[in-house]
Amino acid sequence: MFNYNLIVEKLDSGELKARRVWLGVGKREIAIEEVLWCPQNGLQSASMEHPELNEYGHLEILKSQGNTILSNYKTHYEEHRKSLNFVASPCTLLSVPFEISKHWNALMNGKKIELDYTVMKVQAHTGITLQKRNIQDKIVMSVTPKNWFWKVLFGSTDFHFNSETYGLEKIEGLLEPRDRNRKGKYVEYLGLAQFDTAMDLSIIRGDNNV
């Protein structure tokens, strides 16, 4: 079981800076995520750290290109640099809610949004589809890998919004914390992340002047 603290800050430049810290037993830090996101140009930078795995990564984005730095078990804990060329707008798990709010009206009208999900732990990216799911009177935005293998392995990650306030209430699917087995392979977690207070994203949709 994990808990996490999430802080979203609007900078003077208009960009959003988000930091999420996942906590395990004893309040020890399991995973740390950060993103810098621009309403006009999308994801600008991202970073991740897994202290107990002695692993960290960073991504800087300029238009359709990204520069990554990774240090982990597979790089023998030395910094490995790699460039990425994105086909669609890049995103991470932490920045997906911002993309949902940016494309809110289009998604509500049934449009599918294509994004490039960035996997910093292996310095790669893969295409995903963002779309609204029809579940009775609930608002659920679903992220699904386009690659059949990842789709079978991880399925969709669902973002549940309050039908009246449009606040993000919970996320169900792939989580950021992970472990490594004895062979060095990653052990991923699928689960439910419930917010104590719904996350207000109206600042992006333009519902008010917050």
Q: Identity (one letter) of the amino acid at 136?
A: Q
Per-residue pLDDT, averaged over 12-30, amounts to 90
Q: Is residue 210 part of a domain?
A: no
**CA distances to 59, 67, 90, 92, 100 from 85, in Å:** 12, 9, 10, 15, 22
Pairing state between β 89-91 and 113-119: parallel
Count CB-CB contacts under 10 A for residue 168: 20
- State the average pLDDT for the chain: 90
Q: Is residue 35 part of a domain?
A: yes
pLDDT, residue 205, reads 65
The residues pairing with 117 across neighbouring beta strands, listed in sequence order, are 91, 126
pLDDT, residue 43, reads 97
Between 163 and 70, whose confidence is greater? Answer: 70
DSSP-based three-state secondary structure for 54 = coil
Residue 207 has pLDDT above 80, yes or no: no
pLDDT, residue 12, reads 93
Contact 143, 130 (CB under 8 A): yes
pLDDT digits (tens, 9 = 90+) for 132-144: 997 877 899 999 9
Per-residue pLDDT, averaged over 156-181, amounts to 90
Q: 120-124, 141-145, 189-193 — which is least confidently predicted?
A: 189-193
Per-residue pLDDT, averaged over 61-73, amounts to 94
CA dihedral 106, 63, 59, 101 (to 10 degrees): -20
Q: Is the dihedral of CA 168, 169, 174, 175 positive or negative?
A: positive
Q: Which residues of 185-205 are buried (b: 16+ CB within 10 A; e: fewer)?
A: eeeeeeeebeeeeebbbebbb
**CA distances to 94, 130, 157, 169, 179 from 164, in Å:** 23, 21, 22, 12, 38
Q: How many domains does the chain have?
A: 1
pLDDT digits (tens, 9 = 90+) for 26-54: 788 999 999 999 999 999 999 999 998 99
Q: Is residue 19 part of a domain?
A: yes
Q: Select from 50, 113, 52, 122 the least CA-distant residue to 84.
A: 122
Count CB-CB contacts under 10 A for residue 182: 5
Residue 130 has pLDDT above 70, yes or no: yes
pLDDT band per the 50, 70, 90 thresholds, residue 209:
very low
Domain that holds residue 75: 3-205
Residue 200 has pLDDT above 80, yes or no: yes
